[in-house]
Structure 1
Amino acid sequence: MSMQQLIEAARVSKAWPFQEAQRLLKRYPEGAKPDGSPILFETGYGPSGLPHIGTFQEVLRTTLVRRALEAMIGARPEDGKTRLVAFSDDMDGLRKVPDNIPNAHVLEENLHKPLSRIPDPFEKGHESFAAHNNAKLREFLDRFGFQYEFIAANDMYNSGRFDDALRNVLRHNRDILDIMLPTLREERRQTYSPILPISPQTGRVLQVPVEVVDAEEGTIRFTDEDGGAIEQSALGGMSKLQWKVDWAMRWYALGVDYEMYGKDLTDSGVQSGRIVKALGGRKPEGLIYEMFLDENGEKISKSKGNGLTIEEWLTYGSEESLGFYIFPNPKSAKQLHVGVIPRAVDDYWQFRERLAEQELDKKLGNPVWNLLRANGGWDAEEAPGEGDTLPVTYGLLLNLVGVLGAEADREQVWSYLGNYIDDPDPAKHPELDVLVGTALAYNRDFVAPTLEKRAPAPNEREALRALDCALSIMPPDNPAEEIQTIIYEIGKREEFAFESLRDWFKALYQTLLGSDQGPRMGSFIALYGIENSRKLIEDALERR
């Protein structure tokens, strides 16, 4: 496809990244800012706990909108017409100690101090708690190849780069109070201030009334924790702003054009939008997305640590499957736990296989097409990986490993894969080899401890004997489809009294594999080997 074809298709696409990018085109009909500076995308992160997939998804989804906009204006990533800033609010005061942090006493002793001024409880050599968490964030963003600029609030406040914007906040202190006070409870109104001074005595971020003495000089007056009256500068890292004011100030100072955020920040987005307008700026475009939930349907929290980490997903699934799971329906809540990983892997490969034969408008709605281009260009005739297939589904691989047992190793799995693919060489199938490793881990941690094969019922015993008889006369390399056909025929025979084929396959899964669901049994038998499968049947028939 040509760049012009892509531009035309992108501008009418109904896929959500392109619909979001359309809003930016309405903001800048010429596809660029009037002053020629790049269109700025931002993502925000509060490093009060370890980053998790909820953090990662915001960067991925924002990147997808960024690439969609570039497609619409005919820009390549290297053209510099867009920027993505990953911003860490590490000047925020620590309000409570997260549940999943070592050396909790370090944090207890430093409550209410800026996150960037609290010692690293992980003892990894970082200069602060925030620095450790910021490093973890950048580590997994870099692993996935995101093109972004990292900015920390600590650096912006301390270096004075936010000082002009802070003076503007001080000038408009009364305007901001008029916006915020009606939204607060009476008790909170008594102490609310847009500016949060940092105590010169304790180093804590204070929630106290503040008087603006001189906006141009940046001077403020407040009562410190010991009751003493303090007059000091609000500039150079000696204060920070309340959350909603801080967010608006950031939009104003950086010139942010697009930022998406979770449903829980809907009210914050409204108030920050009003504040940035009071400062003389403009609220960014943005998508309000639904939150991820854990397996119990509860909101994922950094402090609780009840969400999946990037490392956990990549232990049991592939990088591509993570992006695939995150892509669809950002306005719908998703449960996020290890149980969703196997299907995400297989669904990713199904969508990837379809790419080669899809028309351009369909490709733009295919999650894999967007993911393949998330960190690359838009003008290639075909993206790497279009039309690729995986020789074995992840579900089938998990069933194989489940039968081999918790002690199975990578070499053993590949020896069985030789029954199914022509060249069972891990070097020739690197993506499959990754999944062999993750399948072994998934089986070890979640399948093997709960695996229980039941004894077959009388009618199931007879059907299993019939299947064993059929397998006994097959050649070792009998095609999977022929095996599947015979399995179907056995399940349909009236003498075995199955109410439906579904009951027959459920019996096979429960007696041979120890699970309620499973793969196409013809494919599994071809992969595991006919003689090995007959041994599974023999073991099942001996079970009482």
Structure 2
Amino acid sequence: MSETRPTPLTLTPELVAAARESKAWPFEEARKIVRRYEGRAWPAEILFESGYGPSGLPHIGTFGEVARSTMVRNAFRVLTEDKVPTRLLCFSDDMDGMRKIPDNVPDRAFLEPYLHQPLTVVPDPFGGKYASFGHHNNAMLRRFLDTFGFDYEFASATDYYKSGRFDDILRRVAERYDAIMAIMLPTLGEERRATYSPFLPISPKTGRVLYVPMKRVDAEAGTITFDDEDGEEVTLPVTGGRVKLQWKPDFGARWVALGVDFEMFGKDHGPNMMVYDSICAALGGRPPEHFVYELFLDENGEKISKSKGNGLTIDEWLTYAPTESLALYMFQKPRTAKKLYFDVIPRAVEEYYQFLAAYPRQDWKERLGNPVWHIHAGNPPVVDMPVSFGLLLNLVSASNAHDKAVLWGFISRHAPGVSPQTHPELDRLVGFAIRYFDDFVKPSKVFRAPDAVEAEALRALSDRLGTLPSDANGEAIQNAALDVARGIERYQDHAKKSPTGGPGVSVAFFQMIYQVLIGQERGPRFGSFAALYGIDNTRALIERALKGELVA
């Protein structure tokens, strides 16, 4: 179990009233759980569950499920004024057989002899530090959830099956075997129907998880009879971890056994939701409330897969951005499919700090729609961020800085009194910016030489900057740049109007600046960048571009 407990909520009448009206999706989901018990006494606790299949290393989608479930849990706590105990169980289906070898293990041949054995029996291919492949992957998941500070309990299917915690529900599956088969068989193809059983016995001879038909199911004795891999007939108790359930019956049976009230899962489970619910009801339970979210895609638009290892890993995201930016990405539009690759990181970081800055100025209705309320369980920190992540990236690009001290030289001159000691959150972002630039921006930078019109525009811009005081702010620099552009026909936008009534400025002017000076297609507001980088440094950068040194 994680040692971190839920942050105490400061409940006020204004907060509770706003929560009851909030349209934010976690509150919408939490209201489903409230309605679930209308007219009934509350149970001893409300159980939220999140499932994990440890067939491969945990990916960001796994984290997203726990993060989103936590957001709904916190919303529920507000709606019930924190009077109903809640618990979040992260359940690992680690007794599942290893049906194929993941692509991202060090030595695939090492695992071949263990195909179809339970994941908690397959040896750890990552140096043997853990008792099994399943234990390794479970540890990787728990490490991050603990680092992030989630309040959860971890549960292992292997432990639950072998300890007898599922014995009662397994006997009930045997008793209601025909009802479950009546639910399952219409969903299967003809060939699969001929051999299907909700029970998957573990071969007492080979240790493999067997997909074999049942010859007999004795509900009174609580046993199943089948032919083992060598053709010999075997009878096993359904209890004590000698069998496990197929994944669809397992969903419904687990809900009944544990009393789950809320579980979310990806869209790929959507077509099976009615099957899960029907099995749950057939076993005498009430299906939990559901939330079906869209899948994450890699940069090629393909579904992220644990076994393929495509898309971003948790550790990769956290190498280049704070955890809060990842939580923001999970909060936003959960029912919309989103690509999850390195290019999305800078925007997520920028938006997180924008939402954080807006929070103190908002009323309760706006706050409950602000992602940072949900990310921080109702207690967002107060953070002063005088420089944005986008500006930091462009500062690294322009200065070719590779250590934090160089960047802090620019920052401290631009914002006197700001230092790593006074602004540790900004210092953290400086490190992220350097790493992200080195690995993703720098390799893709393409400088181009200015044509004659562009060169003249850059000379005029440099001259105009030279008339400004060295401590000119971003607004003054931006206005100076706009004045230069308005005098050049190529950059006049007659569909816009300037403050003096003349033509406005085309975005092509600033695109040209970033293409020529930074080697990128776009960047933050030019005035803000030049103020941070310094007017003299910006003019020197323009001079280098005009001499062709940047292209070279």
Q: Verify: 1:492 aligned to 2:501, yes or no.
A: no
Residue 15 (structure 2) pairs with residue 6 (structure 1): yes
In the alignment, is the contact (CA less than 8 A) between 1:51 and 1:309 conserved in 2?
A: yes
Letter matched to residue 511 of structure 1: V
Which residue of the partner structure matches residue 501 of structure 2? none
The code of the aligned residue for 1:484 comes to Q
Q: CA offsets per residue over residues 299-321 of structure 1, 9 Å max, x none? A: 11111111211111111111111
Gaps of 5+ in 2: 1-9, 494-504
2:94 to 83, 90, 95: 90
Cα distance, 1:452 vs structure 2:
2.1
Counterpart code for 2:32 = R
Choose which of 522, 536, 541 in structure 2 pairs with 1:517.
Answer: 522
Q: Which residue of 2 is the match for residue 302 of structure 1? A: 306
In structure 2, the residue matched to 1:130 is: 134
For 1:153, the aligned partner's letter is A
Map residues 268-417 of structure 1 onto 2, 5 A cutoff.
268-373=272-377, 383-386=379-382, 388-405=383-400, 408-417=402-411
- Residue 54 (structure 1) aligns with: 61
Q: Secondary structure at the match of 1:435?
A: helix
Determine if the alignment matches structure 1 residue 467 to structure 2 residue 461.
yes
TM-score by length of 1: 0.94
Q: What are the Cα deviations for residues 282-327 of structure 1, in whole angstroms up to 9, with x where unaligned?
A: 1110111110111111111111111211111111111111111110
Distance in 2, matches of 1:494 and 1:412, equals 36
Q: Indicate the larger mover: 196-205 or 208-217.
A: 208-217
Displacement after TM superposition at 1:30 (Å): 6.3
Instruction: Evaluate the alpha carbon distance shift between residue 250 and residue 415 of structure 1 in structure 2; reply closer, same or farther with a 3 A threshold.
Output: same
- The one of 10, 32, 47 equivalent to 1:23 is 32
Deviation at 1:450, TM superposition (A): 1.9
Residues 285/438 of structure 1: CA separation in 2 closer, same or farther (3 Å cut): same
Deviations 1:344-364 (A, max 9, x none): 111111111111111111111
Question: What is the TM-score of this pair, normalised by structure 2?
Answer: 0.93
Alpha-carbon offset, residue 498 of structure 1: 4.9
Q: Which runs of 5+ in 1 are unaligned?
A: none
Query: Shift of residue 210 of structure 1?
Result: 1.6
Q: Which residue of 1 is the match for residue 85 of structure 2? A: 81
**Residue 202, structure 1, aligned to residue 206, structure 2:** yes
User: Separation in 2 of the partners of 1:429 and 1:91?
Assistant: 47
How many aligned positions are there?
A: 529
Report the CA distance between 1:25 and its aligned residue.
0.8
Q: CA deviation at 1:495?
A: 5.8
- For residue 453 of structure 1, what is the aligned residue in structure 2? 447
Decide whether the 8 Å contact of 1:459 with 1:497 is kept in 2: no
Which moves more between the two structures, 253-262 or 476-485?
476-485
Which residue of structure 2 aligns with residue 527 of structure 1? 532
In the aligned structure 1, how far is the partner of 2:488 from the partner of 2:101? 64
CA deviation vs aligned residue, 1:104-156 (integer Å, no higher than 9, x gap): 12321111111111110112410010000000000111111100010010000
In structure 2, relative to structure 1, the CA distance for the partners of 1:497 and 1:437 (3 Å cut) is closer
Q: Evaluate the alpha carbon distance shift between residue 31 and residue 294 of structure 1 in structure 2; reply closer, same or farther with a 3 A threshold.
A: farther
Question: Is the 2:301–2:339 contact (alpha carbons within 8 Å) kept by the matching residues of 1?
Answer: yes
> Does the residue aligned with 2:507 lie in a helix, a strand or coil?
helix
SS for the counterpart of 1:432 is helix
Q: Does 56-65 or 104-113 show the bigger shift?
A: 104-113
Q: Find the aligned partners of 2:418 and 2:32 in 1 and give their Cα distance.
A: 49
Are the aligned partners of 1:419 and 1:526 in contact in 2 as well (CA < 8 Å)? no
Is the alpha carbon distance of 1:62 and 1:495 closer, same or farther for their aligned partners in structure 2, counting shifts above 3 Å? closer
Tell me which amino acid in the other structure corresponds to 1:49: G
Deviation string, structure 1 residues 484-539 (Cα, Å, up to 9, x no partner): 11001001113665554311111110111111101111111111112211111111
Residue identity over aligned pairs, in percent, reads: 53
Aligned-pair Cα RMSD in Å:
1.6
Paired residues of 2:71 and 2:374 also in contact (CA < 8 A) = yes
